[in-house]
Amino acid sequence: EIVLTQSPGTLSLSPGERATLSCRASQSVSSNYLAWYQQKPGQAPRLLIYGASTRATGIPDRFSGSGSGTDFTLTISRLEPEDFAVYFCQQYVGSPPITFGQGTRLEIK
């Protein structure tokens, strides 16, 4: 099973700043089968990025994903008020089990 470790646990930033969230895998994530989701309180998770770097439909271009192998990054170039939420990474290599990271909470400073 691939274990995903996200850092930091909590990130405190102000609107307009740049956010960099990390997701590290315990073994290589082949074919860059890595996705990112955003979840706000009381809402379902929302797919942001798949294939490590491809934005999902309707996702603003201030969100970008990068990385390969065991190290992946979600970057939000200029934070908008609606971006403050919890972010999860997920690997989907091969057969289950599918695993998620524990999440990074992005809060307003």
Partner 1 sequence: EVQLVESGGGLVQPGGSLRLSCAASGFTFRTYAMTWVRRAPGKGLEWVSAISGDGAYTYYTDSVKGRFTTSRDNAKNTLYLQMNSLRAEDTALYYCAKNAMDGQAYYDYWGQGTAVTVSS
Dist CA 14 CA 79 (whole Å): 7
- The region of 14-22, 65-73, 76-84, 86-94 touching partner 1 under the rule CB under 8 A is 86-94
Give the interface segment with partner 1, choosing from 13-21, 30-38, 68-76, 77-85 (CB under 8 A): 30-38
DSSP assignment, residue 39? E
- 47, 53, 62, 70: which one contacts partner 1 (CB under 8 A)? 47
Residue 76 lies near partner 1 (rule: CB under 8 A): no
Among 59, 64, 68, 98, binds partner 1 (CB under 8 A): 98
C-alpha span between 96 and 12 (Å, rounded): 34
Residue from 63, 76, 101, 106 touching partner 1 (CB under 8 A): that is 101
Pick the closest to residue 59 from 29, 80, 43 (CA basis).
80
Residues 6+ apart with CB under 8 A from 99: 1, 2, 3, 4, 90, 91
Query: Under rule CB under 8 A, how many of the chain's residues touch partner 1?
Result: 24
Element (H, E) at 21: strand 19-25
Q: Which of 11, 25, 29, 35 binds partner 1 (CB under 8 A)?
A: 35
